[in-house]
Chain A
């Protein structure tokens, strides 16, 4: 049974910020939702409440950056690029301010529906020059996200998990380095964020069915280690399946597709994720199943790639479920 960690960001941010006096904690009225309420209460001199005014917060952070601070902006991912996109470009990205955009509730990890679900954030951020993109997939990555983000000479957007988060890894994020979770030879599976856990669930059943999976977990989406990906693609027989908590346009599926096209890789690619659709409000397991972001969808994608049915059922996947995440953690509250 995997270890579940409660609010890993809260203590990790506090420890990091206290060791780095030029880090400032900013929030836009979602302070407890982003797990920095304790920090606010204990270190009010390091916390700035910007209220529900994200456009001002973005340019204000640019000004703080000019003064030599490294502001960490805490709000839901959607509010870091949809409303203040113009300010993000002019005040943060263009001048390469060391602003750390901590985007909580990535993709369908919120029951808040369309207005709360950052489903195209990676696509937007990938197209912004000077931007670095990191994504957390477990508690260890959440615990190391502050140091990883703050090591970047420029702006960084982070997809941060909150609440009860499984621990899948025992080493911190190394910016630019993908995790090789298995080194099979039939199919390459590429995941990031919460879809990595789904792939781990599927892998057990697929192995039993005789399929050898090579599995990569991405925590650094931009910049991207193209050469490493190409080596992994070359090492598998059938092709690549990507699974992302994001629309399939502009995210890691597109990243892999572009890499393959740019280098003339003649293997098949199946991109799983939100297929040109918004999601609605609901629990994470429901949404992952409904929109095809879960282990079941991954198995179906691999079957499609290989052209063989493995006869794997939902019951088989439940049998190898690696933890009790979804029974312990209630659907994320707002």
Chain B
């Protein structure tokens, strides 16, 4: 399934799809597509060694939460292929990137475009905040900061079992405010886990606004290195830089790629909203129409014909 399209093209497709969805739904997690499109496109289109999807192209409805009696339950990991020993695993640690992640699955042919019509609809598994049962998800990550720990545990377990597949974690920079992130890096270094890789969307913003106005996290590259990771710091919209960073040697240590990004990359109309970009809402019909016209033009597509 790899490289049917150029990764740049997949990234553009992610932005277009999330944009169209956001205009139609009068709001959405739009800036996450701006900052993370290249990272998600690169992971799925190039870097991840994963098998064919095992779940239907159009996701089945919600079948209930895990319980002793729920035999129909399954996670959404099947969209990333089977959990075979040689294959990589991916956790989307900031689960509010779900919309961008679902768009990625569609762009790389792992989910049907119709799947996104179920987004945030009652009774759907295509949830707004990615759940365990949502397409492409294997664990709950809606509480930020737990993804890297889970990845670390899985990587240690897979090493003990002699599995060759790696564990990738897609992270966001806001997570470094959580102490658990540092516990996780410390543990990964302590156990010499070099099958654990993370790429972190460093868009310098969080729910309340710009990170340095909420809780300044200072030099996270130096901090991650001090905790025992090999760190690459790159332009998160430069796919060549991503490829180079992933080839860094990191024996006995986890690799963390800090992808410095813009939360309005490819949609410069959003710049005026910075730093309030965590969830894009339109204040009025005019606001929505202006965003529709300007961003569609920049993305090279017709304006979205939405229901007023």
User: CB-CB contacts of B117-145 with A at 8 A, as 1s and 0s?
Assistant: 00000000000000010000011111101
Q: Are B183's CB and A63's CB within 8 A?
A: no
Query: What are 22 A-B pairs with beta-carbon distances under 8 A?
Result: A48-B156, A53-B186, A55-B145, A55-B149, A55-B183, A56-B183, A56-B184, A56-B187, A59-B146, A59-B153, A62-B150, A63-B151, A65-B153, A67-B157, A67-B160, A68-B157, A69-B160, A87-B149, A94-B66, A94-B140, A96-B66, A129-B67
| Closest-CB distance, A108 to chain B (whole angstroms) | 30
Residues of B close to A59: CB separation below 8 A: 146, 149-150, 153, 180, 184
Residues of A close to B184: CB separation below 8 A: 56, 59-60
Q: Are B183's CB and A90's CB within 8 A?
A: no
Residues of A close to B132: CB separation below 8 A: 94-95
Given A91-B150, A94-B66, A154-B68: A63 touches B180 (CB 8 Å cut-off): no
Partner of B180, one of A56, A89, A94: A56
Asked if B55 is an interface residue, CB under 8 A from chain A, the answer is no
* Chain A stretch 79-135: residues in CB contact (< 8 A) with chain B: 86-87, 89-91, 94-96, 129-130
A-B contact count (CB 8 A): 114
Asked if A50 is an interface residue, CB under 8 A from chain B, the answer is yes
Partner of B150, one of A63, A69, A96: A63
Q: Are B68's CB and A153's CB within 8 A?
A: yes
Asked if A64 is an interface residue, CB under 8 A from chain B, the answer is yes
Q: Are B140's CB and A63's CB within 8 A?
A: no
Residues of A close to B186: CB separation below 8 A: 51, 53, 56
Interface centre among A65, A67, A69 (most CB of B within 10 A): A67
Residues of A close to B300: CB separation below 8 A: none
Partner of A66, one of B141, B154, B179, B191: B154
Asked if B190 is an interface residue, CB under 8 A from chain A, the answer is yes
For chain B, give the interface size range.
35 or more
* Complex Cα spacing A24 to B161, Å: 12
Partner of A60, one of B143, B153, B158: B153
| Closest-CB distance, A291 to chain B (whole angstroms) | 34
* Chain A stretch 13-67: residues in CB contact (< 8 A) with chain B: 24, 48, 50-51, 53, 55-56, 58-67
Asked if B65 is an interface residue, CB under 8 A from chain A, the answer is yes
User: CB-CB contacts of A213-231 with B at 8 A, as 1s and 0s?
Assistant: 0000000000000000000
| Chain A residues with a Cβ closer than 8 Å to the other chain, count | 31
Q: Apart from A90-B142, A130-B68, what 18 extra A-B contacts exist at CB < 8 Å?
A: A48-B156, A51-B186, A53-B187, A56-B186, A58-B149, A60-B150, A60-B156, A61-B153, A65-B157, A66-B139, A66-B150, A67-B153, A67-B160, A91-B146, A94-B132, A95-B139, A95-B140, A154-B68
| Closest-CB distance, A248 to chain B (whole angstroms) | 29
Which 9 A-B pairs have CB atoms at the shortest separation, nearest pair first?
A63-B153, A67-B157, A59-B149, A56-B183, A60-B153, A63-B154, A53-B183, A63-B150, A55-B180
Residues of A close to B163: CB separation below 8 A: 67
Residues of B close to A55: CB separation below 8 A: 145-146, 149, 179-180, 183
Identify the closest chain A residue to B163 (Cβ).
A67
Asked if B152 is an interface residue, CB under 8 A from chain A, the answer is yes
* Chain B stretch 8-44: residues in CB contact (< 8 A) with chain A: none
Residues of A close to B179: CB separation below 8 A: 55
Asked if B231 is an interface residue, CB under 8 A from chain A, the answer is no
* Complex Cα spacing A90 to B180, Å: 14
Q: Are B161's CB and A68's CB within 8 A?
A: yes
Q: Are A56's CB and B149's CB within 8 A?
A: yes
Asked if B155 is an interface residue, CB under 8 A from chain A, the answer is yes
Partner of A87, one of B146, B158, B190: B146
* Complex Cα spacing A51 to B145, Å: 18
Residues of B close to A61: CB separation below 8 A: 153
Q: Are A64's CB and B153's CB within 8 A?
A: yes
* Complex Cα spacing A96 to B70, Å: 11
Residues of B close to A51: CB separation below 8 A: 183, 186-187, 190
Residues of A close to B146: CB separation below 8 A: 55, 59, 86-87, 90-91
* Complex Cα spacing A56 to B185, Å: 9
Residues of B close to A68: CB separation below 8 A: 157, 161
* Complex Cα spacing A134 to B150, Å: 26
* Complex Cα spacing A143 to B52, Å: 46
* Chain B stretch 168-216: residues in CB contact (< 8 A) with chain A: 179-180, 183-184, 186-187, 190-191
Q: Are B139's CB and A91's CB within 8 A?
A: yes
* Complex Cα spacing A91 to B154, Å: 12
User: CB-CB contacts of B62-74 with A at 8 A, as 1s and 0s?
Assistant: 0001111000000
Residues of B close to A58: CB separation below 8 A: 149
Residues of B close to A67: CB separation below 8 A: 153-154, 156-158, 160-161, 163
Q: Are B157's CB and A64's CB within 8 A?
A: yes
* Complex Cα spacing A86 to B154, Å: 19
* Chain B stretch 98-112: residues in CB contact (< 8 A) with chain A: none
Partner of B191, one of A48, A96, A154: A48
Residues of B close to A63: CB separation below 8 A: 149-157
